[in-house]
Chains A and B, each alone.
Chain A
Amino acid sequence: MRKPMTNILSIGLPEVGKTTFLAALWHVTESGEVPASLSLERISENAKHLNSIRSDWLRFEKVGRTIPGQEQPTTLWLRDDRGVVGQVLFPDLSGESFEGAWAERHWTKEYDQLVSGADGLLVFVHPETLKEPFTIAEMQRMAEAAIPDEVAANRQVEVEEPSTDVGVEEWSPLKAPTQVQLVDLLQFTETTQRAKRPVRVAVIVSAWDLVREDYPGEAGPSLWLKNRMSYLDQYLRSNFELFTVRVYGVSAQGGDLKKDRDSLQNHAHTSERILIDGPDCSAHDISEPVRWCLGLRETGR
């Protein structure tokens, strides 16, 4: 007996593909174009937002971002091959809202209720919008390695005493590395979700087409997370009492909407442009991370 309403919360900073994922998920579950996917049991009472973002996606356009203050509660009635899964609430929250929570250290009571009621978490990251924790010394070493002649010329320069003058830019929490912001946002959920531990988490690496070549196969997304967002990976793995995690690489658009437009349009079904890698993933089945969050996959592997 499944509970009547399941709440899956998408967490992510701005421009990480949360809404595009939802648009493609809506289309895949509604159209039945991907045989292995979850499917729609019935159309939601209010599907205006879902239809609007799907229209963008089907026209091979950039899916409109969720604007703070215009966030929409969206509901999908889903079923799998064993029967009705139930009503799944996907609050489509703006990335700015999460960024604001990290920087300003408060959120609305409604957000708090959504977090505390979440049965699963979709955590979105995007390879091209990452703020990385590069240190000045790392950059200097990289520059040195790239210009070996200058290295030789500078070898005699004495190591200078570190300065304690402040840097050029003023610090702001928004300049912190993406992975640190996400870890703190997940820490906010630690106190509100105690009754449901461990919570299932699907980390979605968006725009997977950009990095897929370097991280092939089912384990590719996990390896990407380990290499590029190590602190987030460490946090999720080491707090296994709180989170049970899988990592997926997802390209809901399938490629670059300008460069790859012809090839993206050259499929029998629009859903076939979707790329997804990760545990238990069938081709184009963007509903797999949702299936994981809903507990429809075993944790054993």
Chain B
Amino acid sequence: MTTMPPTGPASPAMQPPEKAGASDELVNLPLGKPLGEVDASEVLRASGAPIVVLVGAPKCGKTTLLASLHDGFQRAPFAGYVGSGSRTLIGFEERCFDSRAASGGEKPVTLRTRHQEGILFYHMKLRDQDLSSPIRQLLLADMSGEHYEDALDSAIALRALTIYRRADHFAHLVDGGRLASNHLSGLTRANALLLMRRCFEERMFDPDAKVDVLVTKWDLALDRIGQEKATNILHSLEQALGVFEERLGRLRIIPIAARPHYKSALQPAYGLGNLLRSWTEEPPRKSTPRERRLPRTNLQTPFDKFALREAAHLYAKADD
């Protein structure tokens, strides 16, 4: 893979010893950034890595969860695994930086995923701590919270998120701090239930789909309303989501605190260890996502009729 660099000349730091005449020829190295869909597909083909899609409203903690999984391995093995590398170390590090002391900040923050970045895949390689098993790989799909809001408002926007159907694990993050807030709990809960309902109406979940509703910022919820009321929030969610449970392979509701406040009694990455193990070790879904065809309703315009004639295979049959 010998190519010219995409931009600019070689930096002084990269001049080779002695052979100045040949110094222009550079070898590109893996970028280390989050993967796009093409590169993620390559990882999938090569390793069969399960995909976890992280879904949730803006600021609900998706990127913090990602960063905490990477940070978990910086001091010691995590969740019974040792870190065996990653194709996206630059991406993880960029996400972690604002929570690190090196950022010079006083409060841990997280760089948000931007809408225009689309779906970004983060890659992890893990091995059991006793090194007895082969290396396992995992892909975590992150996207901005605006996608979530779009999906609430528009069925078309939701249908375009085909990664929801492909994912081996659908992690729906709901902001526990807001659920514990007097003025935001109603909206937060309603939106979370609305997304689930819309996903079912648009047949985004197959019968073997595994859905984890992650109640994030659990430290904040405990601090705001105490253990008893916070636990009631979980029970209430369980009741409300119970109607969907039998239509899924599995539904779990799990409180997490990826990066609890330093005064919280919760440990860093609270709840993430077991999640990581189940995401990594459960066999990927076997079923092929059902084929979805476009509905025939509202095919009124000349273009609609043209499209139906020319691409009939994309539309549902008349008797569907």
Residues of A in contact with B (beta carbons under 8 Å apart):
68-73, 91, 93-94, 96-97, 99-101, 104-112, 131, 133-141, 144, 154-155, 157-169, 171, 173, 175-177, 179-180, 183-184, 187-188, 230-231, 234-235, 237-240
- 4 further contact pairs, Cβ within 8 A, besides A155-B263, A169-B103, A187-B30: A135-B101, A144-B263, A177-B93, A238-B83
Complex alpha-carbon distance, A176 and B76, angstroms = 17
- Whether A133 contacts B259 by the Cβ 8 Å rule is no
> Which chain A residues lie closer than 8 Å to B268 at the CB level?
135, 137
Q: Are A161 and B177 in contact (CB under 8 A)?
A: yes
| Contact segment of B6-14, B160-168, B306-314 | B6-14
Lowest 4 CB-CB distances: which A-B pairs, in order? A167-B103, A167-B105, A100-B13, A110-B16
A188 touches B110 (CB 8 A): no
Question: In the complex the two chains form, is B109's CB within 8 Å of A110's CB?
Answer: no
Give the CA-CA distance A155 to B109 in the complex, in Å. Answer: 22
A101's partner among B17, B29, B76 (CB-CB below 8 A) is B29
Task: List, in ascending order, chain B residues with CB within 8 A of A112's CB.
Answer: 2, 27
Output the least CB separation between B63 and chain A (Å): 9
Which residues from A are CB-within-8-Å of B89? 176, 180, 183-184, 187
25 CB < 8 A contacts A-B: A69-B15, A71-B18, A97-B13, A108-B14, A109-B22, A109-B25, A110-B19, A111-B14, A112-B27, A134-B102, A136-B106, A159-B220, A159-B223, A159-B224, A159-B261, A159-B263, A163-B107, A164-B110, A165-B109, A167-B98, A171-B93, A179-B74, A184-B32, A184-B89, A237-B131
- Output the least CB separation between A174 and chain B (Å): 10
Question: Does B295 sit at the interface, judged by CB under 8 A?
Answer: no
Per the 8 Å Cβ criterion, residues 49-97 of B in contact with A are 59, 61, 64, 71, 73-77, 82-85, 87, 89-90, 93-94, 96-97
Most buried by B among A72, A112, A167, A239: A167
Is the CB of B108 closer than 8 A to any CB of chain A?
yes
Chain A residue, CB-CB nearest to B4: A106
Also in contact, A140 and B14, with CB within 8 A (given A162-B109, A230-B73):
no
- A-chain residues with CB within 8 Å of residue B31 when the two chains form the complex: 105
With A109-B25, A171-B97, A240-B131 as contacts: A68 and B12 at CB distance below 8 Å: yes
A164 close to B262 (CB less than 8 A): no
- The smallest C-beta distance from A163 to any residue of chain B, in angstroms, reads 5
Establish whether residues A71 and B17, one from each chain, have CB atoms under 8 Å apart when the complex forms. yes
With an 8 A cutoff between CB atoms, is B231 at the interface?
Answer: no
Q: Do A104 and B262 touch (CB < 8 A)?
A: no
Q: Within the complex, what minimum Cβ distance (angstroms) separates A144 from chain B?
A: 7
Is A135's CB under 8 angstroms from B100's CB?
A: yes
Contact A231 B73 (CB under 8 A): yes
Query: What CA separation (Å) do A167 and B106 show in the bound complex?
Result: 8
- The answer to whether A106 touches B26 (Cβ under 8 A) is yes
B97 A187 Cβ-Cβ under 8 A: no
CB of A6, distance to nearest CB on chain B (Å): 18
A108–B26 CB distance below 8 A: yes
Residue of B nearest to A183 (CB): B85
1/0 contact string of B176-211 vs chain A (CB within 8 Å): 010000000000000000000000000000000000
Tell me the complex Cα distance, A70–B94, Å: 32
Residues of B within 8 A of A157 (CB): 263
Point out the residue from A108, A168, A171, A180 that lies within 8 Å of B25, measured CB to CB.
A108
CB <8 Å contact, A136 and B74 = no
| Interface status of B28 (Cβ within 8 A of chain A) | yes
B11 touches A137 (CB 8 A): no
Q: How far is the CA of A135 from the CA of B64 in the complex (A)?
A: 13
With a cutoff of 8 Å between Cβ atoms, the chain A residues found around residue B102 in the complex are: 131, 134, 169, 175
Q: Closest A-chain residue to B23, C-beta based?
A: A108
Known: A106-B29, A134-B100, A135-B99. A160 touches B107 (CB 8 A): yes
Given A106-B29, A112-B27, A135-B99, do A169 and B71 touch, yes or no (CB 8 Å)? no
Counting CB contacts under 8 A, is B296 at the interface?
no
In the complex the two chains form, what is the Cα distance from A133 to B107 in whole Å?
A: 16
Asked if B118 lies at the interface with its beta carbon under 8 angstroms from chain A, I say no
CB-CB nearest in chain A for B19: A110
Q: Which of B61, B82, B94, B263 contacts A171 (CB 8 A)?
A: B94
State whether A140 touches B27 (Cβ < 8 A): no
List A contacts of B10 (CB < 8 A): 106, 108
Q: A72-B17, A105-B29, A109-B25 are in contact. Are A230 and B74 (CB under 8 A)?
A: yes
A137 contacts B99, C-beta separation under 8 Å: yes
